[in-house]
Structure 1
Amino acid sequence: MTDLDQLTQSLARNLKRLRTERGFTLDALAARAGISRGMLIQIEQARTNPSVGTVVKVGDALGVSITTLLDYDRAPAVRLVPPDQAVRMWSTPQGSHSTLLAGTEAPGPLELWHWRLMPGDGSTSDPHPGGTTELVHVTAGVLTLTVDGADHRVPANTSASFESNTPHGYRNDGTEPVEMTMAVSVPAAPH
């Protein structure tokens, strides 16, 4: 079984378990996530490889992190995530990428990411649920952070925080790669 097959199986198993635990029907979760009932069925039956955006929408609707959807493991108080278990979620041919380093439920999803944006590259995100906060720390280059249509320049060794319940994105308008670490905190979904 390939790594992709394992992720697809984990996502299928975890989605069905979490949906059932929360008492959501397929129709209710589909409406809450803004995706089709058919897509949810395909995910639960491990018949599709959904986009990152779809996985994020499902996680937000369930009030759990991507990490929880992809790997449910009741771990000890300290969970080490070796480099080979970090999950690359997005990449471009130019070499830009985002990698989910670690995540937990505390009490809502909390995720730690590493991003690299090559010159001219960028990524946009749909609004997250109300109360979601992102922290960004740029370690190299100059990030152009767009929040609700307004651009903010974030140079190396500078941090930014913002509520991400509005359209937002990350762009590299410079000539050198941007390296950044990001934390995303999503409020727990009401049960």
Structure 2
Amino acid sequence: MYYVQDPETITAAIANNVRALRTQRGLTLDVLAARSGVSKGMLVQVEQGRTNPSVTTLTRISSALGVTVARIVEVSQAPVVRVVEGVEMVTFTQGGSAATLLVGTDAPMIHELWDWRLAPGTHHDGDAHTAGTREMLTVLEGTVTLVVDGRSHVVRRGDAVLFSADRVHRYANDGEDEVRFILVVAEPLATQDH
């Protein structure tokens, strides 16, 4: 079962957070577009709350801003100890697959904890993260085909893998049953030019 907060609330939080983070860093929309690889038009739509951006778009924006995706989708400010209830977690769905961002941190290093479900015959292509980024995953159900640098690695139920995620990568479900895995992203904070 997936717990999804009201989409309008999440869209508004994304809009406010992206705009606030961009202005805190003194970045124009043009500069953020150049750093993130996301078009200026899309950034305007995101900041005005007129679109529901994909995980890839959010990842590119967060990386360019030096924060986690969790920080961008965060609806409220986090206290020193943060318990994230299921109803607060954000789930992104596409083609019968779902990625739930369970929790994340910003500093001193970006960490994100994800619960992924891939429908049979589907995949997710991950962009190369900041240099030095590592990802770890463990498979809870099914078998994941992880492709890094064009080389496939089969990760079965009960197995875990650690890899350098500062290169293009793919998670694929080549089987007939749903795949579920837990993913941790550990990304160094990008140096910001002010």
Q: Give the TM-score of the pair, scaled to structure 1.
A: 0.90
C-alpha deviation, 1:103, in angstroms: 1.0
Task: Answer yes or no: is 1:101 the counterpart of 2:102.
Answer: yes
Q: Spell out the pairing of 1:1-191 with structure 2 (5 A cutoff).
A: 3-71=6-74, 73-93=76-96, 96-191=97-192
CA–CA distance in 2 between the matches of 1:44 and 1:77?
27
CA–CA distance in 2 between the matches of 1:188 and 1:160?
23
CA–CA distance in 1 between the matches of 2:187 and 2:93?
20
SS in 2 for 1:109: strand
C-alpha deviation, 1:107, in angstroms: 1.5
C-alpha deviation, 1:110, in angstroms: 1.0
Following superposition, which runs of at least 4 residues in structure 1 exceed 6 angstroms of deviation? none
Distance 1:101 1:29, change over 3 A: same
Aligned residues: 188
Percent of aligned pairs with the same residue? Answer: 43
Distance 1:88 1:13, change over 3 A: same
Structure 2: which 5+ runs fail to align? none
Structure 1: which 5+ runs fail to align? none
C-alpha deviation, 1:60, in angstroms: 0.8
CA–CA distance in 2 between the matches of 1:19 and 1:88?
24
Deviations 1:71-108 (A, max 9, x none): 15332221111112211113323xx3211111111313
Contact 1:111–1:184 at 8 Å: present in 2 too?
Answer: yes
CA–CA distance in 2 between the matches of 1:10 and 1:185?
23
